Amino acid sequence: MSGPHVVIVGGGPFCTYALERLAALLPALDLSSGLTLSIFERTGHFGAGATHSDAQVPTSYMNRVASQIGFAADESSADAPRLLPRELRPTFTEWADAKYQATGDRRFLFHPVEVPPRYLHGEALRERFDGYVAWLRELPNVTVDLHAAEVTDIAREDSGGFRVHAGDVSLHATHVLLVTGHSNNHPAPGSLEETLAAHAHQTPPARHVPFAYPLDAQVSEETVPPGSTVGVLGMGLTAIDVLLHLTEGRGGTFVREPSLGAAPVLRYLPSGREPAAIVAVSPSGMFTTCRPYNAKAVDGSGRGHGALQHTGVFLTSAAVDTLRENVGQRCRVQGTEVRQLDFERHVFPLVVLEMAYVYSTTLLGAHLGPTLRGAAEARYREFLREGCLHRDDGIEALLAPLQACLDGLGEARPAQRFDWRAWFHPLGEPTSIPGDVWREQLIAFMRRDHEAAAKGNLRDPTKAACDGVWRDLRAIYSQVVDFGGLTAASHRRFVEVYWRYYIRMSNGAGLEAMSKVLALVEAGRVDVSIGPRPIVEPLPGRPSFRIRGPVTGTRRDVGVLVEGKAHPFDAERDMGPLYPNLLRRGLVRRWRNPGAVASEDFIPGGLDVSTAFHPLQADGRPEPRLTILGASIEGVAFFQLSAARPQSNSSILNTIARWANELVEDLSSALVVERDVHVPPR
């Protein structure tokens, strides 16, 4: 078949979303010249990819509730000019309910506010993918080819377009969409990871597992034998997956104990196949906090979510624009002048002020909102004009009128005061503390955190502030950071410090998973006594590694180390050949946030793209027939790895929609814009 040939590299969730958009748009085109769509997915798990595959182990959870998972553009999607009929775009909850009604299988029986296992998300993605492929294949003159192969190279052709190479397959493409998802990197030369891997190689049976997924292959009973000692480097979502796989996934069980509180209390019963000791460590020494019961998730359709989301009062799009105009530092990024901010001095004080506002109005009543806004107004306007020289001084200045107002009203007891330092360092910043004391303090904090999570993101003031400011206002953070919005030095510090706050305070696992983690800690199956700022090192001449806690003085020797965190994208060190080859050919380049001199540039590892997500080539020119989305551009644009969310004007779905709109416009200038379209009968 002649005509345009569109290639999608990566058959995971983003590909599923892209096919939904093409299913909605292509029926309006004159495709008499033919259209070929070729999809490459190296794992063969079409629709879900590796991370969300339906082959995932059953102990891994999503980190959002069922009703906040979608697959298709909807009425809220600003960039979707045409929608599929309603019955062809179910939400995850609606899909699961239909599966339960058809099969009676209780795996599909979900309340909208429950957190589903990740493999079920993969099963739903695969079904949606298969459906969209079938519908596209019914269109006249449309061919859809699926290739379970890894694309290794893309080269420009002299005659125009590109030559895509994947194993024995070599084909011509007029347009290419790269949505390759998570990747794995070779260790950086001289890095700790390289040192640990070399030690494991030189002193068997010591093992170093550089990436955890797929868990059943990378963290198997062969790599982590029963009775072994294992260190898990990380205490976030990936690490939680690893801990549950090594325990519940080995046959251990959790039983519910009587509880006086709202949060479940679990006790772990081992199977005997677990490791003898699991040592979990991270820079903070703490797990991510528990995601709260989501009272904003109204029903399975996702409708109504927007009305309950927090809208910024102080941390707003207009405030960011005003700060850029008044205190932004001029810099040329991609040939365009940008007024860059310093997150620590210009934005973080507003984050804390917004959290204090949400905390206070949740604790004491929404009726106080106008009074608190009025009290803060003068100091807030002054801050927008001038920013601050020192972060803590700026925060205290902004909070002072709110606290004075509350004190004057006699509304807040001293114990209810908003203590921002305690929020970001809930166990303090100790310089010395015994490991067993750190463990007990962490357990006590997790219990309190779980009780707060059980109350939900509308009732508990702490969870309301974390959820409302760090999650509901993510578009504001994108406005602040994306495409060089911060100075190079501030961007680096944002990634190293403030991004960790976001992850720990608002992007954790749900109550079911975290109750299991707490039970493992209380049972002594997971050792958290190392505490903050761990030091990990090989033991010379011995098949083991030592983990030391400089704050706690605790030492643990382990025979296996598992990297319990996802690799950040790095085009140069990617273990797959595609991105290094694209760099070599000059079709892409790494993004850099320019400092005052070249040595001060911040180069996070992702690819340089235009605001339309077309890669900038080595010479700085965009390539409009290539589009890159997802993990590969996380350095220049944040929040690229989220799952689609229904009825929320999802930024992910809008980004995919803009790609599809541009593609269709390129394929035919006669695109007829209609709001709804009926797919031809199957």
E strand or H helix at 320? helix 317-327
Q: Is 53 exposed, middle or buried (0-12, 13-18, 19+ CB in 10 A)?
A: buried
Q: How buried is residue 561: exposed, middle or buried, by Cβ count under 10 Å (0-12/13-18/19+)? A: buried
pLDDT of residue 414: 61
* Per-residue pLDDT at 656: 96
* Positions in the chain short of pLDDT 70: 1-2, 298-306, 411-415, 669-682
Residue 412's pLDDT is 59
Q: Is the dihedral of CA 266, 272, 275, 279 positive or negative?
A: positive
The reported pLDDT for the residue numbered 303 is 57
Could you give the CA distance from residue 592 to residue 602 in angstroms, rounded to a whole number? 6
Per-residue pLDDT tens over the stretch 52-92: 889 999 999 998 899 999 999 999 999 999 999 999 999 99
Integer Cα distance of 538 and 489 in angstroms: 32
Q: Where are the domains of the chain?
A: 5-181+641-667, 192-288+510-563, 305-506, 567-622+629-637
The CATH number of 192-288+510-563 is 3.50.50.60
The arrangement of strands across the sheet holding 207-209 comes to 207-209, 560-563, 229-233, 277-281, 526-527
pLDDT of residue 268: 98
CA atoms within 13 A on the CB side of 102: 7
Q: Which of 477, 484, 445 is nearest to 462 (CA)?
A: 445
According to DSSP, the β-strands at 277-281 and 142-147 are unpaired
* CA distance linking residue 88 with residue 20, whole number of Å: 9
pLDDT value of position 298 = 62
Strand partners, 341: 486
Greatest CA separation for the chain = 77
Q: Are 387 and 323 in contact (CB under 8 A)?
A: yes
The C-alpha atoms of residue 269 and residue 522 are separated, in whole angstroms, by: 12
Secondary structure (3-state) at 18: helix
Instruction: Dihedral sign for Cα 360, 362, 363, 367, please.
Output: positive
DSSP state of 306: H
Options 3.90.550, 1.20.950, 3.50.50, 1.10.10; CATH of 5-181+641-667? 3.50.50
Q: What is the pLDDT of residue 159?
A: 80
Return the structure tokens found at 633: 């551009």
Question: d(Cα 626, Cα 630) in Å, to the nearest integer?
Answer: 14
The predicted pLDDT at position 670 comes to: 33
- Confirm if 276 and 285 have CB atoms less than 8 A apart: no
The rounded distance, in Å, linking the Cα atoms of 139 and 23 is 9
pLDDT at residue 674, rounded to an integer: 35
| Strand (E) or helix (H) holding 5 | strand 5-9
Distance CA 204, CA 200 (A): 6
* Distance from C-alpha of 622 to C-alpha of 604, rounded to nearest angstrom: 20
Distance CA 647, CA 80 (A): 12
Quote the CA–CA distance of 177 and 659 in Å, as a whole number: 9
Q: Same fold for the domain at 5-181+641-667 and the one at 192-288+510-563?
A: yes
